[in-house]
Amino acid sequence: MRMDERLANAARPALGLGLLLLSACNAGPDYRPPSVSDLKIPDQFQASSTIAAEQDMVDLARWWDSFEDPILTQLIDRAFAGNLDVDAAAARLRQARATLRGTQGQALPTAGASGSVTRSVGADSRTIIDPSTGQTIGSGGDTTVYRGGFDVAWEADLFGGIRRSIQAARATAEAREADLRFTQASIASEVGLNYVQARLAQSRLRIARENLAAQDETFELVGWRRQAGLVSSLDYEQARQLRAQTAASIPTIENDYATAVNRIAVLLGEAPGAVTALIDSPASIPLAPGVDAPIPAQVIERRPDVASAERSLAAESARIGVQTAQLYPALRLSGSFSGSSTSIGNVISDGIGNLVAGITAPIFQGGQIRAAIVGQRAATDAAYDAYRQAVLTALEEVENALKGREVAERREADLAVSYEAANNAARYAQLQYRSGLVDFQSLLDSQRTRLSSQDTAASARAARASATIQLYKALGGGWQTAPIPAPGPYEGGKRPAPAETRP
């Protein structure tokens, strides 16, 4: 009988077992994503009716473009390319995808091959017998023996344990991708918020220096009037105190500016000071148009952190099936072939092959398998609670961001009026003091009020810009067009050589 006929006869029982796979089932529950109705969330936000769209709805995919600030756009694009948290999240995504490919390989047969060549030198007449087959392959003289073999194994996934493992690995990879997107959205908002703080510091520095110049004039004027005997030393010392107080605020504001700029550099994956020259030129605090608040269901669909929690829930649910499959028998098919001969062409024809089917089943495991199933169900319950918490947190953040932006708009409008009035009062007080119509205390109070009102108005504009950025982040924008970073220097597990040893 030829070798191919022998293997065919041996494979017939395995073919019957293969037909059994057509009726194979998946252990564990079939996952269904939670429906929005089950979460009992409101149909709309409480604060949505108070926000009026100033223009067409902002494109959340690139919300920073709505600020019409090319430097801000450049910084966020650079952050996507260089931020280390984004790189780390991308590496975890590649790791999860590699795990998925490895898990998918468990459903495929494994195969291996071996071969060797043995040279015997001698003039005796001993018979050479292959120990693996018992066949006589040569006798006497110089002899070269060729050996070859291969083996194949495959585990039939009768109860879906491997399929559930693949489902869990795929859901985990999708969760890691959502984590990457959430990191990108967070980094974009962090760059935007720090950029607003840097521009606010520049505005506050300008305000402090302008007021300091005005107070220098007042201090000089009081000095002349004291020398002329028109005012007492009390007015002089009060003017000196106010001027020193304003001057003392400037180093603190300069520190706030440096802190914000250095933070932006680190968010870009660069050393502090890398973007200072880019931002140093003073500019106003950028503002963006309003945005229509979507219904909660749309928020849930947009937010990558909610998507990550849902995918983690799917992975935990699939792992219930992985543990449940351990209760049932496992079928493993294996085949092997080996042959040897003094001629390469006869290694296959003179070889011997076999095909084996084996079934293993748990009999007594001391309750370990069922305990693992119970534990995995508990892990799935925890993942479901984490998903619900992510949904509630998303709704809370949008609700707070909507309210925060509404309050910031109203506060900015009122403080603009307050600064206008304080500025007019300071000018009138300056003129009246020169004319001797008001005392020096009234002039000092008006100057203090003007400085405070001007500084607070600038802070209110920055608060409005920051509230807008927080709203964009809460609505799930800022990641849709962000690229997935390319593999880093450690891709493939290869550590780059030190610089001095590189060719």
* pLDDT beyond 90 at 118: no
* C-beta separation of 204 from 127 below 8 A: no
List % helix, strand, coil for the chain (3-state, nearest 5). Answer: 65, 10, 25
User: Is the four-CA dihedral 420, 426, 430, 432 of positive or negative sign?
Assistant: positive
**Mean pLDDT (whole number) for 68-93:** 93
Task: Give the separation between CA 53 and CA 6, rounded to whole angstroms.
Answer: 79
Half-sphere exposure of 358 (CA within 13 A, CB side): 9
Position 386 scores a pLDDT of: 94
Residue 155 backbone zone (phi > 0: left; psi -120 to 50: alpha; other: beta): beta
Place 45 in a pLDDT band, splitting at 50, 70 and 90.
Answer: confident
How many residues belong to the chain? Answer: 503
* C-beta separation of 262 from 272 below 8 A: yes
26-112+157-328+368-486 placed in CATH 3.40.50.720:
no
| CB count in 10 Å sphere of residue 142 | 10
pLDDT in tens, 318-344: 999 999 988 888 888 887 777 776 666
Task: Give the separation between CA 192 and CA 470, rounded to whole angstroms.
Answer: 9
Which of the 8 DSSP states describes residue 1?
-
**Mean pLDDT (whole number) for 476-498:** 66
pLDDT in tens, 177-213: 999 999 999 999 999 999 999 999 999 999 899 888 8
Position 259 scores a pLDDT of: 96
* C-beta separation of 204 from 458 below 8 A: yes
Among the listed residues 381, 386, 375, 382, the one whose alpha carbon sits nearest the alpha carbon of residue 324: 375
Place 129 in a pLDDT band, splitting at 50, 70 and 90.
Answer: low
* pLDDT beyond 60 at 63: yes
What lies within 8 Å, CB to CB, of 145 at 6+ separation is: 117, 118, 119, 120, 128, 130, 137, 138, 340, 341, 342
Question: What integer best gives the mean pLDDT of the chain?
Answer: 81
Q: Lowest-confidence range among 88-92, 268-272, 352-356, 404-408? A: 352-356
